[in-house]
A and B are shown apart, each in its own frame.
Chain A
Amino acid sequence: MTKRRWLDVACVGALAALALMTWQIFDPSVWPVMVAMSLGQVLGTVSLAAFAYVVVVDFRGQLRAGRESFGKKHEGDSQSATDKPPIPPLTSGPQSGS
């Protein structure tokens, strides 16, 4: 599944969870309350977990992309690209503050 598809699932799941949790507010009888406190919680938690998964995958993808581009730039270097993390370029703008 693509990242976007995961996020779609997470959003729809969370919307469903919110609907369940809101239903019990208007109809506080046995079914709505039981469902909100069980299925609603599970759906909401799973949606958040799916989002966290996407963020982690995305972050690792960015790291890898950074490393690869670093490795390409320094093709002939004696050190391998994985030994050192990519160094951000130093900014040469005027110093602000003291």
Chain B
Amino acid sequence: MSVLASPLAVLELACAGLSAMILVGYLALHPPLVRATKLWLLLGLGVFPIGAAFAGNVQGFEATKKRSFCGSCHVMALHQRDSDDPTSGSLAARHARNAMFGDVNCYVCHADYGMFGTVVTKAGGMRHVWLYLTEYRNTSLAEAKKTIRLRAPEQMNGNCMECHSTLDTVWLRVPDHKAALDDVRVGRVSCASEGCHGFAHPFFRPPGESTSG
């Protein structure tokens, strides 16, 4: 099973299993509360569950970066399907194919980078979960297309530049890059716009707004 490929998952399962054995053993036998019993319970209620929680949390945090996690809210299904499609030409899908970050492509383009990047992103992610619960749980995809937009699209270029530095000579030789350099760096001209590299998710635009990508 793929689960067993992750050492953290194995650690979580091992800790949870050992702990469960001790706890079930206690519930079945109810030994007198002597020192040995307390030590066993310390393992079963303290040490192993804390190990399981630690491994599980790190594993869970990693899971939240995966495209499959992003796609598990139904309003993101189209985004996920497009990136999963090996023939799609959208900008997002073209970032979904390499071994390094292909499976976390939503995250690498949409995370806030910087010192507290992950934490800030996760705190912002909680906002998404809340919105999903309160507003979008029953939203149809057609409706979602019209209402779900980035909050700060002008910050997107900053994320692109985490990887595409805009300092490379080959990159700088492209006339459009050279002409718009300052605007691109501060985010006045979006890399992912019509006339440039197209929308990252062209399928998610209402008809009039869409582009060939």
Q: Report the contact-size class of chain A (Cβ under 8 Å from the partner).
A: 20 to 34
List the count of A-B residue pairs having beta carbons below 8 Å apart. 98
A42-59 CB contacts (< 8 Å) to partner B: 44, 47-48, 51, 54-55, 58
Q: Count residues on chain B whose CB falls below 8 Å from chain A CBs.
A: 36
Residues of A within 8 A of B64 (CB): 33
A81 at interface by CB-CB < 8 Å: no
Interfacial residues, chain A to chain B (CB-CB below 8 A):
3-4, 7-8, 10-12, 14-15, 17-18, 21-22, 24-26, 28-31, 33-34, 36-37, 40-41, 44, 47-48, 51, 54-55, 58
Some 14 contacts from A to B, beta carbons below 8 A apart, are A7-B41, A11-B44, A11-B45, A18-B49, A21-B52, A24-B60, A25-B59, A28-B66, A29-B72, A31-B72, A41-B57, A48-B46, A48-B49, A48-B50
Stretch from B16-24, B158-166, B193-201 contacting the other chain: B16-24
Residues of B within 8 A of A28 (CB): 59-60, 63, 66, 68-69
Q: Which 5 A-B pairs have CB atoms at the shortest separation, nearest pair first?
A: A29-B72, A28-B63, A21-B56, A11-B23, A18-B16
